[in-house]
Amino acid sequence: MSSKSNVDYIVDFFSEKFLSDKGYDLPASVVKALNDIDRAERGELKSRLFNEAKRLGQGSDAVKAIRWLENAFDLIEKNSFRMHEVLFSPGQDIPENIAFHISRATKTLDLCVYTISDELLGQCIKAVHKRGVKVRLITDNNKMHDTGSQVKDLARAGISVKVDNSKYHMHNKFGLIDGRIAFTGSYNWTYTAKAFNQENLVITTNYTIVHAFANEFEQLWDQMFTLRVKQRRDGRLHASISNGTVHLNADAIVSPDDEDEHHFIPQLNPTANTQDYKTRAARKAFFKNKKNNAQRFDKKEKKDNRPDNDIEE
C-alpha cells in the first residue's frame, strides 16, 4: 500500500474505476484499508468521495458520477465489518459467542485471560491452532495449576503460551481475533462463570478499542515468561518457564488459592470418572443442587463452593 494513508488508498482505487464499464469488487488490500480506518477517517472518506464525484461529474458525466458514487458507497457498506455486542452470564451466551468468534479466526488469535478451565473453550482454541491460525495465549502462572486448567494441555499442543512470574496476578480477560475483533469483560473462562456467576462480556470491532488492546497485548507478550510443557514417563505434565535468561520449574509454583478451594466437578478433574456426566441434560441435572453436589464430591470443602478455582484476588 506504499506510504499512502488508508483513506488516500481507498479514494484512489475508486477514482481509477470511474471509467470502467465492468462490475468490480474490492480487493483484499482495499477491504483491509477500509476496516483499519476509525470513525473520523470514515467521515473523511465519505467527504473525499463526494468531492471526487463532483470533480469527475463535471460536464456530461454528472449522471455517471452519481452512479459511481452510489456504487462506491454500496461496496463500502458491503465490505465494512462492524459489530458491537454486550453479553451476560450465567448462561450459554458468553461461552457460545466466544467459541463462535474464535472458530472464525483466519489469521491470528491473541488471548490474554486470567484462567481457562472451560474444556469446550480449550478444545475450540486447539481446533483453531490445528487449522494453521497463529494462536498466542497469556495467562496467570498460578492459575495454570488449578484442577481442570487447560493451559498446560494447550502448551503441549504446540500453542505459544506465556505467563507472568509474580506473587500478583495477570488478571486481564481480553482477546483479539484477526486484529479486527476485541472482546473483554469480567468473564473468566470457567464452568463457574458460565453456570453461576454474574458476569459480562463486550465484543466490538471499534478500531480505537481493538488497537488499544492489541498494543497492550504486544507489551505484555514481551514482558512475560514462555511456558514449556513436557510429558513425563508417568504421564504427568512437567512445566517450566523462561524469559531467555531466567529458567524456572513452574511446577514448584503453587497457587495460594489451592488450600482454600475444592473441586467437585468430575468432568474438570482428569482423575475423576466422567462417564455419567457427558450430556448437557445430565450436567444440568447434576448441578441442580449445587450444595449437595459439593458435599458429595468433596467432604473436606471449606466456605468457598466454587469448582474450578474461579477466585478473584
Q: Which position among 171, 211, 238, 290 bears the catalytic label?
A: 171
Give the type of residue at 32.
K
282: enclosing H helix or E strand: helix 280-286
Catalytic residue, chosen from 129, 143, 173, 194, is: 173
CA 20/CA 304 separation, integer angstroms: 69
Residue keyed to cell 466454587: 306
Cell numbers standing for residue 110? 491473541
The total of other beta-carbon atoms located within 10 Å of residue 310's CB is 24
The predicted structure's pLDDT at residue 262: 31
In terms of CATH architecture, what is 84-252?
A: 2-Layer Sandwich (3.30)
38 is catalytic: no
The pLDDT value recorded for residue 243 is: 67
Domain ranges of the chain: 6-79, 84-252, 258-297
State the pLDDT at residue 229: 80
Distance CA 306, CA 119 (A): 16
Task: Specify the pLDDT at position 181.
Answer: 93
Is 173 assigned a catalytic role? Answer: yes
On whether the CB atoms of residues 15 and 52 are closer than 8 A, the answer is yes
CA atoms of 180 and 83, how far apart (whole Å): 10
Contact between residue 238 and residue 232 where contact means Cβ atoms under 8 Å apart:
yes
Produce one character per residue of 103-137: b if its CB has 16 or more CB atoms within 10 Å, e if not: eebeebbbbbbbbbbbeebbebbbebbeeebebbb
Q: Exactly one of 36, 38, 178, 251 is catalytic; name it.
A: 178
Predicted TM-score (pTM) of this structure: 0.64
pLDDT of residue 239: 73
**25 classed as catalytic:** no
What pLDDT score does 89 carry?
Answer: 92
- Supply angle C-alpha 14, 16, 19, rounded to 5: 105
Pairing outcome for strands 134-139 and 108-113: parallel
Q: Which residues fall within 8 angstroms of residue 229, CB to CB, at 6 or more apart?
A: 152, 155, 156, 237, 238, 239
> Splitting the chain (313 residues) into consecutive groups of 10 residues, what average pLDDT does each group show?
80 90 86 83 93 86 90 88 90 95 94 95 96 96 89 92 90 94 95 94 92 96 87 70 65 43 32 37 49 44 48 55
